[in-house]
A and B are shown apart, each in its own frame.
Chain A
Amino acid sequence: MNLNDLPAGADTDHQLTVAGKTYNSKLLVGTGKYKDFQETRDAVVASDTDIVTVTVRRVNIGQHQNEPNLLDFVPPGEFTILPNTGGCYNAADAVYTLQMAREMLGGHSLCKLEVLGDEKTLFPNMPETLKAAETLIKDGFDVMVYCSDDPIQAKMLEDMGCVAIMPLASLIGSGMGILNPWNLSLIIEQTQVPVIVDAGVGTASDAAIAMELGCDGVLMNTAIAKANDPIRMALAMRDAVRAGRNAYLAGRMPKRFAASPSSPMAGLMT
């Protein structure tokens, strides 16, 4: 048996194209909540992702000047660094954060916008998200946007020029999985740019379900970082995203309320 004997195209379409650039994986991973930078790197490598999110914070002045930097472990030459605006609760802070990130990364325009609504739910503040997206797009950013799973506002963000729509599947860091597949399906169906489920995935089956809905990608952090074995979970997520994509493209069998034998009855020895 040799997988190379499969018909051409049998296992293709696992790439992701955002803002005109093609990446080799539909999985995007965050770098928060790991034990240390080495574990971060090991999990990122195991996930086989191309796109890694980071956040931007003040340097601790006068302390730990010789400590390693995250970007030494996930260098921009090896991965596409996607700066986010985690912790921002209004448009002005989010725009400023991404302007700083762009400068830090040498002018790189791809970013993840998230403007949060409150600390308990980390639900997006959509009016502020729309405001920030408009400013950032005018300023030349390619905006991938974390948003609610409301198809109307998702459409507004797409029409404005966001390069990826990233609705939550459930609350950030909750691991509750895909709670409203119907809304996600509505967004997937109407959207021309990539739809990436961002937030809520807890385990590999959640990632597969997201991909089976027809998403273009999944972005996750806590599901890998807070697994007992993050590296093993990163491998599971890599496989789940591919499995879900293949299942979506394969087209599932219809559900039926009666059994249907897999073995033919004809020629049965009685």
Chain B
Amino acid sequence: MNAIQIELNGRPHPADATYTLADLVAKLGLAGKSLAISINREVVKRGDWPTRRIEAADRIEIVHAIGGG
């Protein structure tokens, strides 16, 4: 375990330096949903989620589709 702090959707969030993005998505209960994720405003492709590690102070955004015109 190597506890770190990230910023997730604009708020501080605890994480672990061993986590990949796929781990984070699973921990959040979001696996299998239609999402997109960026780290520090850079889009991370879904195929890279299992290998992309999270680092301290990363600004991560997870988005989904909602109603809009």
Contacts and interface: CB of A to CB of B under 8 A. Distances in A.
Q: Would you call the interface of chain A mostly helix, strand, loop, or mixed?
A: mixed
A104 B69 contact: no
Contact of A103 (B10, B36, B66): B36
Interface stretch (A11-19, A30-38, A210-218, A230-238): A30-38
A126 B58 CA distance: 33
B67 A30 contact: yes
Contacts of A34: 67
Contact of A99 (B33, B34, B43): B43
A53 interface: yes
A71 B66 CA distance: 8
B30 A84 contact: no
B64 A69 contact: yes
A100 B61 CA distance: 10
A137 interface: no
A103 B67 contact: no
Given A61-B11, A69-B34, A54 B65 contact: yes
Contacts of B8: 61
A71 B32 CA distance: 13
Interface residues of A, number: 38
Contacts of B17: none
A54 B68 contact: yes
Interface residues of B, number: 28
Counting chain A CB atoms within 10 Å of each CB, the highest count among B8, B41, B46, B67 belongs to: B67
A30 B69 contact: yes
Nearest to A87: B68
A57 B69 contact: no
Given A65-B28, A99-B43, A103-B46, A31 B68 contact: yes
A116 to B, nearest CB: 12
Counting chain A CB atoms within 10 Å of each CB, the highest count among B28, B46, B69 belongs to: B69
15 contacts: A30-B69, A53-B69, A54-B65, A55-B66, A56-B36, A56-B65, A56-B66, A58-B63, A59-B30, A61-B9, A69-B34, A96-B41, A101-B65, A102-B36, A105-B34
Interface of A: 30-34, 40, 53-59, 61-62, 65-66, 69-71, 81, 83-84, 86, 96, 99-105, 172-173, 219-222
